[in-house]
Structure 1
Amino acid sequence: MKSDKIESSRDWNIIFLAWLVATISTLGSLFFSEVMEYPPCILCWYQRILMYPLVIILLVGLFPLDKNILRYSAPFVVIGWLAALYHNLLQYEIISEDMTPCTQGIPCSTKYIDFFGFISIPMLSFIAFSIILTLLFLFLKRKNS
């Protein structure tokens, strides 16, 4: 009985960490656009559209812990991860600028920040989606074992 409670607590902690990453990412994107006044490009908007609902979905899945949380959150995370990957490939010029959806407004290749020579806003998004994806995979693995 005590073992089940500990297992459930670990599962809750995994989803809580995923929620925390999504919340920090959401607040970070709002900081960059509203405080630092960096206008987001089209790909940034797509990533925001996929990250922001995760804050609510993961929070609702915590109280009580919903074992089906993957069904609701995984599509947002996987598509967001792919969008962030694509955005990074554009910024690091692995994909040509001609293949960008940013035809009007802010170019998708614009780098507002460049920490350590490689950490940009799209890289932060990619890292956040990767962490959430890893945590959801860990949750799935624990659920199926």
Structure 2
Amino acid sequence: MQKKYYLYASWFVALAAMLGSLYFSEILKLPPCVLCWYQRILMYPLVLIIPVAILNRDEKGHSYVLPLSILGGCVAFYHYLLYIKIIPDTLAPCSTGVSCTTRLVEWFGFINIPLLSFIAFVVITLLMIIYSKTKENE
């Protein structure tokens, strides 16, 4: 596969995550918690950064994306552990507003917003690692 397609795939995942989060909050009117806001802060810029790397044919595009995707994955993983009660609620940063453990969406008994966010950040991170290791001719 050509190297640039890893960037396109990463951008698609970031765009889907951004549109999904906006759908949950603006269409379904589900209020985001503090950790959801942190994840948005780390995901939304990727929707702009990745196309810039594509347009500029920037071989170092991964160096701009990876810090955000890795940090976002860590926040999402922490959120997921709070959500499934592995980490106690007392360690949740959500002191005001919506609780970080409020079950607003749960499909098939295990797919929830923190898990979707974690998967998106992990996929972007993996695609960027592959992108950074791939030679242009491959």
TM range (shorter): over 0.9
Structure 1 stretches of 5 or more lacking a match? 1-6
> How many Å apart are 1:114 and its aligned residue?
0.7
State the structure with bigger RCO (CA 8 A, min sep 6), 1 or 2.
2
State percent identity of aligned pairs: 44
> How many Å apart are 1:142 and its aligned residue?
1.0
Q: Which has the larger radius of gyration?
A: 1
- Which position in structure 2 is the counterpart of 1:138? 130
- Which position in structure 1 is the counterpart of 2:73? 81
TM-score by length of 1: 0.91
- Which position in structure 2 is the counterpart of 1:33? 25
Q: Which of 105, 121, 129 is the aligned partner of 1:113?
A: 105
Structure 2 stretches of 5 or more lacking a match? none
- Which position in structure 2 is the counterpart of 1:4? none
> How many Å apart are 1:111 and its aligned residue?
1.4
Deviation digits for residues 11-35 of structure 1, max 9, x if unmatched?
Answer: 1111000000000100000000000
1:93 counterpart = 2:85: yes
Q: Using the TM superposition, name which of 24-33 and 61-70 deviates more.
A: 61-70
> How many Å apart are 1:64 and its aligned residue?
2.9
> Alignment length, in residue pairs?
137
Q: Secondary structure at the match of 1:40?
A: coil
Aligned-partner residue type, residue 18 of structure 1:
S
Task: Find the aligned partners of 1:143 and 1:96 in 2 and give their Cα distance.
Answer: 45
Q: Secondary structure at the match of 1:107?
A: coil
1:122 counterpart = 2:118: no
Q: Secondary structure at the match of 1:93?
A: coil
